[in-house]
Structure 1
């Protein structure tokens, strides 16, 4: 299916999210074949069911252009447009704070390519942070199955430096290890990322 932005440009997936779904996953407690999105959705279901937080995956608004009807009982969307540029993956409320974050996966072992972010996503998170929202990214290095939460400010610093003369086009793994927080899988919730959000809230208060 072809999906386009409001200006007519085709939507290109710059991260490895779709490719990840096609790769076989090793079984085990830490990873039972679930994508990062599925892990986060399960975690958010857990948080909502226990009245801890209300955080949802944002729906993607699209305008259907063409539909193929291979048979009467089935319809297949063959072309569609985004009604507006998508922002980030998740948002909601936790302890009175607005939460907004993006989740991405990469097969790179030593860095995360900045091209996986769209400029409008960075601007959106920057606007949310300016209004006092808690903004961050959750990145999964799928090859090693390591998941990190990195505050938006750090992401924004790396985003801006790429446009300088000696700017780098990716965030090294060492930055995630030193400036971010590594998330450990648990039975339920799958990824207890709100434990780290508590630390981000404390930073805002101070």
Structure 2
């Protein structure tokens, strides 16, 4: 899989999870499209040239038990750390802002090599990101931090990436 397709298998698992949640009437979740700006079309109206449009917010949104849910999904081939350059500041800000308004917000981070997915509080990512920007801190989050402060997401009969098990265990909005 090329660099441009990193995380595509993870995205397919998440999309399947969303379909299964909806089919079981558990919740409704959507993959948000990446905004593009059409630059050129051919005579039949097909897009021949495009560019990324405005900044995207996060990958997924939805509703669960009457609450808005927003999350960002990231994948890495690293085994001992998660590089922060995989995340944009505006994504953290969006998740923090919507969480402050009562939404359930988190990251799902896949360590692809060992097939481990973590349910990660926004505060953990924000803490390391802010330290990187303002205190010349690390440019990655050590895997040990995920083991201490995040939660491994398991495959269940209900869904291949059953992240709602962790949503149910935490008290929102103060989980992070």
Normalization by structure 1: what TM-score?
A: 0.76
Larger Rg: 1
- From the superposition, tell whether residues 57 and 78 of structure 1 become closer, same or farther in structure 2 (CA, over 3 Å): same
2:103 and 2:173 in contact (8 A); partners too? no
2: distance between equivalents of 1:134 and 1:79?
Answer: 37
Q: Does the 8 A contact of 2:70 with 2:95 survive in 1?
A: yes
- 1:69-103 CA distance string (max 9 Å, x none): 8xx8x95x442134421010000110111100000
Mark the CA change 1:179 to 1:45 in structure 2 (over 3 Å): closer, same or farther.
same
Indicate the residue corresponding to 1:123 in structure 2: 93
Q: Unaligned stretches of 5+ in structure 2?
A: none
Gaps in structure 1 of 5+ consecutive residues = 1-15, 22-34
Q: CA RMSD for the aligned pairs?
A: 2.2
Return the TM-score normalized by structure 2: 0.88
Q: Give, in whole Å, the separation in 2 of the partners of 1:138 and 1:129.
A: 16
The residue that corresponds to 1:18 in the other structure is 5
Return the alpha-carbon distance in structure 2 between the equivalents of residues 165 and 152 of structure 1: 19
Report the Cα distance in structure 1 between the residues aligned to 2:101 and 2:37, rounded to whole angstroms: 30
Cα distance in 2, alignment partners of residues 114 and 126 from structure 1: 17
1:59 paired with 2:33, answer yes
Q: Within 5 A, what are the aligned runs for 1:74-89?
A: 75=46, 77-89=47-59
Greater helix content: 2
The 5 Å alignment of 1:155-194 reads: 155-194=125-164
What secondary structure is seen at the aligned counterpart in 2 of 1:162?
helix
Name the structure 2 match of 1:204. 173
User: Distance between the aligned counterparts of 2:135 and 2:21, measured in 1?
Assistant: 44
Task: Tell whether 2:16 aligns with 1:42.
Answer: yes
Give the Cα–Cα distance (whole angstroms) in 2 for the partners of residues 79 and 52 of structure 1: 40
